[in-house]
């Protein structure tokens, strides 16, 4: 069973978290390159970061800037940062009340299949929110986890966007637990028009323990990825 080092880095500025992800990402890739060069088989580590970001909009590498509905001055007035990211996907919001998970893992340790990786990440969230009575679903052609797919009331509860290189992953998912959904009004979330965003607390109309939700995420991640998450 593969081991994954768990780190909860708490509330972290997006740039600082990105820099830290890159450090771990490069560490794994460097070991893989060294193994290839020297025909060795040194074990690569795997990491899973939990974090939460101050208010920020991030745009994926293939995203459309027109999906940001605020200008630079308005962003400053509202205290929201903006970053162009190297993850996949379009624009999304990160902020307080969101559980952000960044698995930085070597897929060669699991399965070298990015499609399966994304579906497994979605399954982790689907099984997690099911414990709270929420039926998460996939929406064809759209990553992430949704509620009421195929109805006029479809809404996204968890966004996802990743980057991979040499089968090493970074970035990940953002699950809305107690997020202020008003911040999504200033973007076209994930570049998808006509669909809204929701949170676990908005759906359940009650407060939730972020610590408890994180514990459940890790339990399902460990089971689905057949991994042992250690501190």
The H or E element spanning position 115 is helix 114-130
Are 190 and 89 contacting, i.e. CB atoms less than 8 angstroms apart? yes
Q: What are phi and psi of 86, to 5 degrees?
A: -100, 15
Q: Torsion-angle region of residue 49: left (phi > 0), alpha (psi -120 to 50) or beta?
A: beta
Closest CA to 154 of 165, 167, 140: 140
Out of 159, 190, 217, 218, the active site residue is 190
Taking the alpha carbons of 116, 120, 141, 18 in that order, is the dihedral positive or negative? negative
For helices 114-130 and 210-224, what crossing angle results, to 10°?
140
Measured between alpha carbons, how far is residue 4 from residues 22, 94, 109, 164 in Å? 17, 24, 11, 17
Is 190 tagged catalytic? yes
First to last CA, the chain: 16
| Strands, E assignment, the chain | 2-11, 47-52, 56-59, 81-84, 91-94, 98-104, 137-139, 142-147, 155-165, 168-176, 196-197, 227-230
Instruction: Give the residue numbers marked as catalytic.
Output: 190
């Amino acid at each position: 069973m593969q081991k994954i080092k768990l780190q909860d880095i708490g509330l972290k500025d997006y740039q600082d978290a990105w820099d830290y992800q890159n450090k771990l990402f490069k560490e794994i890739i460097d070991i893989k390159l060294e193994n290839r060069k020297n025909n060795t088989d040194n074990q690569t580590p795997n990491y899973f970061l939990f974090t939460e970001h101050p208010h920020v909009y991030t745009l994926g590498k293939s995203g459309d800037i027109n999906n940001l509905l605020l200008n630079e001055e308005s962003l400053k007035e509202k205290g929201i940062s903006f970053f162009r990211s190297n993850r996949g996907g379009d624009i999304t919001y990160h902020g307080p009340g969101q559980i952000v998970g960044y698995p930085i893992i070597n897929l060669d340790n699991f399965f070298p299949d990015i499609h399966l990786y994304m579906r497994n990440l979605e399954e982790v969230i689907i099984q997690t929110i099911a414990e709270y009575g929420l039926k998460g679903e996939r929406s064809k052609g759209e990553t992430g986890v949704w509620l009421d797919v195929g109805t006029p009331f479809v809404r996204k509860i968890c966004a996802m966007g990743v980057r991979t290189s040499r089968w090493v992953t970074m970035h990940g998912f953002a699950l809305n637990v107690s997020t202020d959904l008003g911040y999504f009004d200033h973007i076209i979330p994930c570049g998808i028009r006509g669909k809204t965003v929701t949170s676990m607390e908005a759906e359940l109309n009650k407060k939730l323990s972020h610590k408890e939700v994180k514990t459940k995420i890790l339990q399902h991640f460990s089971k689905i990825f057949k991994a042992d998450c250690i501190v």
